[in-house]
Structure 1
């Protein structure tokens, strides 16, 4: 079904393409002929194509035949497609019918097998019931025997447990008595130790008080000493800064004096150069005047 569906549009497309091609050729010839006739009427210089009317008619006829052939081919292909679809539909219907018959046969067979299986299961159930009854009786006897044995064992165990519990209780009472004595002795020892600790604590507090006072005194002296040292350092630093400032002022004064001396010397040198330059210029002027008079 899929192959037919795919093939049919391709054939139809090819036929339509052929038909369009014929129509285009026919229209091209007609357009050209109309253009030539129009140019003839307007008396233009265009050279008309010499196409005979018979040839045009022949071409039209051919195109018409091709169109008809294409339409016939299209109808045939449509008819073939319908026939193929019909045969395919019939095949599918037959196949569905066969499948349905097969399903019915399988269903009947399955029902028959299920009936036989049910009968077999019922027979097995009956056998199992009888077996279960025998096993139940057997197990009930066994359980009764085991219960009696268990009761005897439990009675023996209970007697032993009672004896052991009595013994444990006596031991526990004795142990508790010993513990009470030990705790009493322990408390007395702890009391003695607490009294000793209290005395030691008092002594330690006295010593600690003395040590603390001594420490505070030493710290106070140390602080005073550090303060004095710091003050001495600050004083020394101030004196050094003062000396440095005095040295810098002396150096600046010296530099100023040197600068003033250098400036005075430079000024004297400049004045001397100016005087020499003026003298030189005056001599040159005298010489020019002398030669001009001559």
Structure 2
């Protein structure tokens, strides 16, 4: 657990700790260490000087630094500072453009601009740097697709997921979010944004080929038609679309987290004495990654849930969602 994430003084997140100066950053890290957090998470608006102070203090306190590459920091600088994860591929797009310094200085960036200035040699250089430093990536590909293509989402047709979305999400939150995000992107045609989503998959494919390690994550429920649970299955499908084998996609949610947490002796394998929750499937996910959703039973916290028991739980969840 990270505790509250660290963000700039004008963070849009009410729960974030506002950081304006290097001293603010050091105090926040020391306070979180005293509270027993496992790592420090940084957000996009952390000021440049404060970021390096946070990274230094986290190292002194024996805490790893994870999260976004802040807007005012280059990806190479985040690697050098010891940041252990990059979320959402932030920093890699910018590093792949000769305009990176402009972006760090505050220039507006957009999918179209990043595509127009894309430089393969620069991309290859940052990929090589990330692989050498073993910086983990959590690209949230399903969220990214929904973000950039939000005006094309027909979430009302999501018959499988919609019954589990809070009623207020369906009637108020998602329509409002869809319209708001779409307005913020009306400066670029949908076709350009579709090309950028394909570009993201290509970056993930190249990172994976270079040996950069990956973790599955979805940012749920921060998005439109992005639901806890089912979104993880959808994320695995996006990994396969990016060139992962089904087995490699599965490992981003099973074996790789065990390695990331340095808990391979306890987690990540089905063996006597290991800790594990299990999905029992009706079809082989190695043949089709979508088969992870064909669940026959679940073992969770040492209890077995049969298909009828799961059906009953899901019926209860639908009732809860209808009242939210």
TM range (shorter): under 0.3
Instruction: Name the structure, 1 or 2, with higher relative contact order (CA <8 Å, separation 6+).
Output: 1
The structure with the largest helix share of the pair is 1
Name the TM-score, length of structure 2 as normaliser.
0.14
Name the TM-score, length of structure 1 as normaliser.
0.15
Q: Which has the larger radius of gyration?
A: 1
The structure with the largest strand share of the pair is 2
